[in-house]
Amino acid sequence: MRLLLALAVAHIRGRARQTLVAGLGVALGVGFSIAMAALMQGSQDDFVRQLVDTMPHVEITDETRAPAPQPAEAAYDVVAFSNLRIVDDRRGIANPTAARARLEAWVPGTVAPALVTQGVARYAGRDAGVTVTGVEPEIEERASSVAGDFVQGGFRSLDAGGDNVVIGDGLAGKLGATLGDTVDIVSPSGLSRGFRVVGLFHTGARARDEGEVYMALRTARILAERPNVINRIRLRLEDPDAAPAIAARAEAGLGYKAVSWQEANEAILEALVIRNFIMYTVVAAILLVAGFGIFNIVSTITHEKARDIAILKSLGFAETDMRRLFLIEGLAIGGAGAVLGWAIGYGLCLALGSVRFEVPELGDATRLPLAWSPWHYAISSALALGAAGIAGYLPARRAARLNPVDIIRGAT
């Protein structure tokens, strides 16, 4: 093997400049692949992080996956029902205190109960439809991403005496209300109450800033006329990736529908998978092109060294030795290129990481999101070596089959 290596090195050195070009082709391919992967992965991570941040990791609602069976179904063995009279269903999560306690016993993270209802906010003759969420301020502060988006006040401001509310700055603008004003909120059943605005938030998502209103769970229950009821339990987990498993367990334990953020955003995550597939296809294509450079140089060497091949065979080298020799040459060029490509990729990542974008709407500059992963280096160099192996093997096979007699005759 060492002998074959020595022969391979001699061949490569004899074609230093061409070898360098082929190696550089691989290096650039690997380098750009790494930088591209870092950028794609980084932007994906960034996107998912934002996605995860703005929503509960698991949301348990007072619904079930399958529609609840009709009580009549349990009582009578029949085929179909008609003209059933609707009983006013008091919806909500049954035994909320017990349900909460059971979740808190094992969920790694925060369990935040809520009562969500619809309403209309009115102030000074203007009104706007809103989603009213009754929360426990102290828990909500830990569980909700909105907690970090307050411009004025916060969830804890809801704890002050009286009926208080925190609203988005978009809604405040729409209504013309500011901090300290009293806004009327009308419930679906027509009940109207005045609430003092004690906090304003700005999430950056317009639908939320214009349409969400938070108040204490206690006051929300009064407004909705549903004492002691909650219809949402939202979980904020220490590890968002554990959400599907935890959602499944919660659903099995409580019987209510529990939706993880992954399930809620399936379409987006699927799109990301497709995006990654496209990326790796492009990476493979780049490296395949780089492989042509290797094919070219190994081909050239086998032609140039036809006489050497004949000599080595006449000395007693077998076809497998010859195949190995040229395969080694291809892999050596590919391997050297890949290592150089790591450096190029790393350098490109550093360069991209230092680019700053000034977005006027946001005060501070943002940087390109880059993710560093050894996998990017491993995958791109594995693809490069694969391409180099194929590119070296094809001429190697031809060289091994070469009949030494043809060459020796040609020389005499």
Partner 1 sequence: MSPLIDARHLGRTLAATVPVTLVRDVSLSIEAREFVALTGPSGSGKSSLLYLLGLLDRPTAGTLAIAGQDTGRLDERARSELRLTTIGFVFQFHFLLPEFTARANVEIPMLRLGRLTRRAARARAEELLGGLGLAGHFDKLPEQLSGGQRQRVAVARALANDPPLVLADEPTGSLDSKSSEQVFAILRDLVRERGKTILAVTHDLGLAARMDRRLELIDGGLITDDRPGAPDPTPAPG
Residue ranges binding partner 1 (CB under 8 A): 2-3, 6-7, 10-11, 13-14, 307-308, 310-321, 403-405, 408-409, 411-412
State the minimum distance, in angstroms, from the CB of residue 395 to partner 1: 19
At 370, list the tokens: 């880059």
Q: 3-class SS at 109?
A: strand
State the minimum distance, in angstroms, from the CB of residue 307 to partner 1: 7
State the minimum distance, in angstroms, from the CB of residue 320 to partner 1: 7
As a whole number of angstroms, the distance between CA 64 and CA 99 comes to 15
In the complex with partner 1, the residue whose CB is nearer, 120 or 407, is: 407
State the minimum distance, in angstroms, from the CB of residue 266 to partner 1: 57
What φ, ψ does residue 111 adopt, rounded to 5°? Answer: -105, 115
Residue 383: partners with Cβ closer than 8 Å, 6 or more residues away: 33, 283, 284, 287
State the minimum distance, in angstroms, from the CB of residue 13 to partner 1: 7
In the complex with partner 1, the residue whose CB is nearer, 247 or 310, is: 310
In the complex with partner 1, the residue whose CB is nearer, 254 or 322, is: 322
Give me the sign of the Cα torsion angle 221, 225, 228, 233.
Answer: negative
As a whole number of angstroms, the distance between CA 177 and CA 200 comes to 10
In the complex with partner 1, the residue whose CB is nearer, 179 or 306, is: 306
Alpha carbon distances (Å) from 312 to 306, 320, 325, 340, 394: 10, 12, 11, 32, 19
State the minimum distance, in angstroms, from the CB of residue 7 to partner 1: 8
In the complex with partner 1, the residue whose CB is nearer, 318 or 382, is: 318
As a whole number of angstroms, the distance between CA 361 and CA 264 comes to 29
Strands (E), 142-191: 150-152, 164-168, 182-186
Helical (H) or strand (E) element with 237: strand 232-237
DSSP 283-323: HHHHHHHHHHHHHHHHHHHHHHTHHHHHHHHHHT--HHHHH
State the minimum distance, in angstroms, from the CB of residue 398 to partner 1: 15
In the complex with partner 1, the residue whose CB is nearer, 20 or 222, is: 20
The single-letter DSSP state of residue 88 is: -
In the complex with partner 1, the residue whose CB is nearer, 118 or 403, is: 403
In the complex with partner 1, the residue whose CB is nearer, 17 or 85, is: 17
State the minimum distance, in angstroms, from the CB of residue 348 to partner 1: 36
As a whole number of angstroms, the distance between CA 271 and CA 361 comes to 28
In the complex with partner 1, the residue whose CB is nearer, 86 or 315, is: 315
As a whole number of angstroms, the distance between CA 51 and CA 267 comes to 13
State the minimum distance, in angstroms, from the CB of residue 404 to partner 1: 5
State the minimum distance, in angstroms, from the CB of residue 389 to partner 1: 22
DSSP 357-400: E--TTSSS-EE------HHHHHHHHHHHHHHHHHHHHHHHHHHH
Q: 3-class SS at 412?
A: coil
Taking residue 45's Cβ as centre, other Cβ atoms within 10 Å add up to 14
In the complex with partner 1, the residue whose CB is nearer, 221 or 324, is: 324
At 190, list the tokens: 């027509």
In the complex with partner 1, the residue whose CB is nearer, 82 or 412, is: 412
State the minimum distance, in angstroms, from the CB of residue 402 to partner 1: 11
DSSP 62-74: S--SSPPPPHHHH
